[in-house]
Chains A and B, each alone.
Chain A
Amino acid sequence: MFSAVCRVVCIAESCSGNKGLLILANKNMKSAFYMVCRVGYAHRLKWWAQPTLRAAVICLSFVLAGWSGTWETMRRESEKLSSVSASFTQSKNMRILSKPLVSTGRFYFKAPDSVRWAYDAPVQSILLMHEGSVKRYTQGAGGLTEDAGAALQSMNVMLQEIALWSKGRFNESPSFAAELKAGDGPAILLTPRDAGLAKIITRIEIALVQERPGVISAITISEGEGGTTAFQFSDVQINAALDDSLFRKP
C-alpha cells in the first residue's frame, strides 16, 4: 500500500520528454525517498518547484504517521491508509520578508493515486491528480484557469517511467539520504547527497506526533540562507469517505 500510494502521488512534473523525476518509498524502506532525474542537474533543481512533489512529501508524511520506530513498522501502518484530508498552513520565511508569508489550504488524498491539493489564500490554486491525469488550476486575472504548461503534458511520459521504476529498480536514493530520528518528537530527516542539490534544498524534516497515530505536526523544508517553508497541519481526517469528483473537478 505504501508503495502504491507513493509511486503515483510522487510524480514530478518538472522533467519533460524522457527525463524523469520521481520520489517514492521503496518497499524495504532502505531508501524511503528515491529521486531520479536522468538528464541533468538543471532538471533536478526544479523538482521542488512542482506541487506534485510537495504533495508527495505531505502524502508520505501522513502515511508515515503511526510510525513506531522502524521503516518496516511504518510500511505496515501505511497499508491501513485509504484516505487523508487535512487543512494546512504554509509559512514561508526568507531574508526579503519581514514576516512569514502565510498560505492556507486543504490537502486530500485517496488511495491509490488521487490527490487534491488546494490553496485558498493568498492565491487560489488547485492541483488535481486522478487516474493518471494531472491538472492544475490557478486563480488569475481571467478567473480560475487551467495551467497549460509543458510540464503537465509530460505527465503521460512520466507515468510510463513510473511503471518501470515500480518494478523495484530503486534500492537507494542517489539524491537524498533518509534518516529516522526517534525520541519525543520523532521525525524523518532527508538530506541531499548531491552538493549541487544541497545548494537548493539543504534538508527536509518531517515531524511526527508519536502519541497520535495519523497526525503529523509539521514539515519543514530548508533552502539555505535562512530560507524555510514550514507546513503545519490541522483537522486531519483519516480514512473518511471521499468522493472521486473531489479529484476530478476544481
Chain B
Amino acid sequence: MKKNMLIGRLCVAAAAAVLLPACAGPRHIRPEPINPALCRLPFSSTGCRYVHSLDAELPGGARMTVIGVSVIDPAADTIQAAIMTLEGLVLFDATASGDGVQVHRALPPFDAPRFAEGLMQDVRFIFMFPAGAPKTTGRLDDGSSVCRYQDNFGMTVDVITHPGQGWEVEQYSVLGKKLRSLKIDPLKNGVPGMLEFEALSPKPYALHMKLISAEPVASGDVK
C-alpha cells in the first residue's frame, strides 16, 4: 500500500514537473512606475497598412513563405488581413470588427472551421496595442520594463521593453498558460523591420515577419 502511494506521489511530482513550466504564468516583475508610452511605441496608434513576407513554421516542421497584408484601424477597432502566395494567389482575405469576422475569401487549408477567427486574433495581437491602462508596471530581474495589461476575460498581456533591443509581448490565459508571444525589432523609420510571432496554443506555429512596406491609412478605410 505504501509502495503504491509512493509511486502515485512520484507520478504527481513528475507530471507537475512537466506541466508547471507550461503553466508558469506571467513573469515576475518588481512593481515600479513605467511610462506606458514606452510600451506603446512599436504599435501604431493610427491606421496603417503593412505588407510583410511571412516565413511560417507550421506544426510538423513544414515551412511556407507567403505574403501578408494587414490593414489596422485602431480608432474603428477594425482589422483586415490577406494572405497570398508569392505568385499572387490570394489564399485568405477577411475583416474583423466589432461585428465579428467576415471572410471574403478562404482557400483550402485556410477555410478550416475557426481558422479565420484564430488568425484574426493573432493579427490583432501582433498589431493592436492592449486596450486600457496597464494593470501594473514594473521591471524584470534583467532591468527590462514591463507594462502588464489584463482584459475583461482575465487574460494577461505583458509588453516588455528591452532598451535598444526592441520589445516582447506575451499573452497568458486566465490559468497562466502562455498563449502567444511576439518579438519586435527596434524601430526603423518608426516601424519595426522584423516581427517574430509564436502561437503556442491550441496549435503551435511561428511566423517570421519581414516588413516590405508600411503606409498610413485613414480611419474607416478598412473595407
Contacts and interface: CB of A to CB of B under 8 A. Distances in A.
Interface string B93-108: 1000000000011011
Interface string A206-243: 00000000000000010101010100000000000000
Residue with the greatest number of chain A CB neighbours at <10 A, chosen from B63, B86, B107: B86
Given A140-B65, A227-B90, A49 B51 contact: no
Interface in A96-110: 96-98, 101, 103
B41 interface: no
B85 interface: yes
A95 interface: yes
A90 B55 contact: no
Interface string B67-92: 10101000000001010111111110
A25 B69 CA distance: 35
B223 interface: yes
Contacts of B62: 148-150
B63 A96 contact: no
Given A96-B69, A98-B217, A147-B63, A141 B82 contact: no
A223 B90 contact: yes
Nearest to B64: A149
Contacts of A94: 82, 84, 90, 93
A103 B63 CA distance: 21
B55 A95 contact: no
B88 A96 contact: no
Nearest to A230: B88
Nearest to A55: B87
Contacts of B59: none
Interface string A31-48: 000000000001101101
A51 B66 CA distance: 12
Main secondary structure of the interface of A (DSSP, over half): mixed
Contact of A147 (B64, B93, B107, B210): B64
A42 B110 CA distance: 11
Contacts of B196: 141
For this complex, into which size category does the number of interface residues on chain B fall? 20 to 34
B65 A51 contact: no
A125 B108 contact: no
A157 interface: no
Interface in A62-100: 90, 92, 94-98
A138 interface: yes
Nearest to B81: A96
Contacts of A101: 51, 67, 69, 88, 212
A160 interface: no
A123 B86 contact: yes
Interface in B22-66: 49, 51, 53, 55, 61-65
Nearest to B85: A49
B142 interface: no
Given A96-B82, A123-B65, A90 B53 contact: no
B152 to A, nearest CB: 30
Contact of A140 (B55, B93, B104): B55
Interface of B: 49, 51, 53, 55, 61-65, 67, 69, 71, 80, 82, 84-91, 93, 104-105, 107-108, 196, 208, 210, 212, 215, 217, 223
9 contacts: A42-B108, A48-B87, A49-B85, A122-B53, A123-B67, A123-B86, A123-B212, A148-B61, A229-B87
Given A51-B87, A138-B65, A140-B55, 19 more contacts: A43-B108, A49-B107, A92-B84, A92-B88, A94-B82, A96-B223, A101-B67, A101-B212, A103-B86, A122-B53, A122-B212, A123-B53, A125-B65, A125-B86, A138-B86, A139-B65, A140-B63, A223-B90, A229-B88
